[in-house]
Every structure is written in structure tokens, then in C-alpha cells.
Amino acid sequence: MCPASPAKGNDRGFIIPIGGGEDRVKEMKIHRKFVELSGGADAYIVVIPTASMLDETGEDYNRIFSSLGAGKVDFLPITRRSDCENPEFAQMLDSATGIFITGGNQLRLSAILGGTLLVTKIRRQNAAGVPVAGTSAGASIMSEHMVAGGQGNESPAEGAVTLSPGIGLTNAVIIDQHFTQRNRLGRLLTASSFNPFLIGLGIDEDTAAFIDPNDVLEVVGSGTVTVVDASKVTHSSMWDAKPGEALSLLGLRLDVLGEGCRYDLKARVAYPPDAHLALCALPVTSV
């Protein structure tokens, strides 16, 4: 499932995977920036709480975004596939200036939304410039290939991760969330070993990767984004590994990005925060 193509001369909207557990009470940096990108006082944010089994999830995010100055916020009470055929919901997405997908169970999310008109509309809206954010399960489903399951706290091994189709906002990365908190490096490395084209993004809680129209991401939040680049792998044992067998992966590159760091997904190059770059540019004086 490929991303929709922007119209000639237009930029696609930001893609914003969040690692879950984001600050919803104090500074709310991630939500605040999302509201700004969505238009602030002129924003119309549509929340999709389908992954959650909690009835209050949609209302909670309505309250959060409204408190941060969003002009209008609605949520789509989608709990079964037939809900995706509701023309009112389609019209709401067509009018949205920001779309937010909540956390919960990513397989519930993909089983209900996958292959529907609403998913097509989300991709088209993003291609038309509308920012789309997703937290936890909502982050995982953004990519073409979605991490659907697998145990944390394990070494890379055959069978350590289960993949399924996502909604295809991007086909350049594969995303895992609650990354450091649930020790998921092993399963992200395993996922990256399947095809070195994909860049693995391991996103901590209360942390987001704001991926701009030029495929340069910036880290916002209190944790880190771990970037796994397998494009220069010189050897992988994945192709003939037996179930449960530990993998050999030689030549991997791994970057750990804190707040303000950026990563160019096309060039596969990481950059420190602008403030650090400015310090590096200062002339050295003798004492």
C-alpha cells in the first residue's frame, strides 16, 4: 500500500508517529506542535480512537486539542468496518486540517480500517498537505509495513517480530513504539533485517518524530528516537535462519536522536540540534 502522490506543486502534510505515553497534562509539547501545524485557532482536527477499547478516549483527545486552542475537534466513533461507510465520517475527514489516530491495539485498528474508503481519504488528505499524527498503535500503522507483534527484551531472532500491512502513509520506514520502555530493539532489528531498504524508527514514550514534506524528521519530546539503517549490511543470516535462531547482522548503522535532533530519511544522515550546530560554528579563541 503506497502513499498517495501530492498534486504537482503541493507538499504533503507532516507525518507524526508518537511513541505513546505522551504528556497530556503539563507542557504537552507534541500535541501543541500538532495543533499549530493543523492551523491553530483555524484547525479542524478529527480524532480516530478505533484502536482503543476505552469509550472515553475520543473525548479525552477532544478536550486536549481544544484546550490547546484548536478551533474545532471531532472524533469518529468507528468500532466496526460498516462504520467506515458512513458518508458523514467521510465528509468530516475531507474537511479536516489535522488527523490524529489514538493508541490501543494496532491489529484492531488495521482489521477495522484496512482497505476502506476512510484509509484512502487519510492518505489523500496527507498528500494534500494535512498533517497526520498517531500515537502507539496509531504510530505503528502509519507505515506500509506495520509491526503487529513480537516480544520485547529479546535479541534479534527469526520469528521475533510479526509484520502486517499498515495504512501506507510512508513506505520508507517501519515504526515501533514504547521503544526503550519495553526494550524493543531486538524486534526492530529483526524487522529491519527483512529488507534493508526500510529504515527502522524506534520511538520512546512521550516522544515524536515530526517527518516533514522533505522526509526530514525532527525529534520532539522527553525521550529518544532510535534509527536503524540496514542499507549497508554486509551480511544477514535472516534468509536461512531457523525459527527462534539468533540472527547475525553485520554492518548495521544505529543513531539515537534526542530532542531537536534531525534525520534525513533520503540521505540517511543524522544531524544534532541547531543549537549544537551553532556552537560548532563558533570560532575557537586562545586563552
Give the pairing of strands 249-250 and 235-236.
Answer: antiparallel
Per-residue model confidence as pLDDT tens digits over 114-150: 999 999 999 999 999 999 999 999 999 999 999 999 8
Residue 271, pLDDT score: 96
Position 277 pLDDT exceeds 70: no
Percent with pLDDT over 90 in the chain? 83
- Three-state SS sequence of the chain: CCCCCCCCCCCCCCEEEECCCCCCCCCCHHHHHHHHHHCHHHCEEEEECCCCCCCCHHHHHHHHHHHCCCCEEEECCCCCHHHHHCHHHHHHHHHCCEEEECCCCHHHHHHHHCCCHHHHHHHHHHHCCCCEEEECHHHHCCECEEEEECCCCCCCECCCCEEEECCCCECCEEEEECCCCCCCHHHHHHHHHHCCCCEEEEECCCEEEEECCCCEEEEEECCCEEEEECCCCCEECHHHCCCCCECCEECCEEEEECCCCEEECCCCEEECCHHHHHHHHCCCCCC
Q: State the Cα–Cα distance between residues 190 and 161, nearest whole angstrom.
A: 7
pLDDT average, residue stretch 145-160:
90
Residue 5, pLDDT score: 78
Domains and CATH numbers, the chain: 15-281 (3.40.50.880)
Of the candidates 155, 199, 144, 192, the residue with the CA atom closest to the CA atom of residue 173: 199
Q: Chain-wide mean pLDDT for the chain?
A: 92
pLDDT average, residue stretch 175-198:
93
Residue 197, pLDDT score: 85
Q: What is the pTM of this model?
A: 0.92
- The answer to whether the CB of 59 falls within 8 A of the CB of 31 is no
Q: State the Cα–Cα distance between residues 244 and 198, nearest whole angstrom.
A: 22
Position 284 pLDDT exceeds 60: no
So which residues are the catalytic ones?
A: 136, 154, 178
Q: State the Cα–Cα distance between residues 103 and 135, nearest whole angstrom.
A: 5
Q: pLDDT class for 287, splitting at 50, 70, 90?
A: very low
Q: State the Cα–Cα distance between residues 83 and 217, nearest whole angstrom.
A: 33
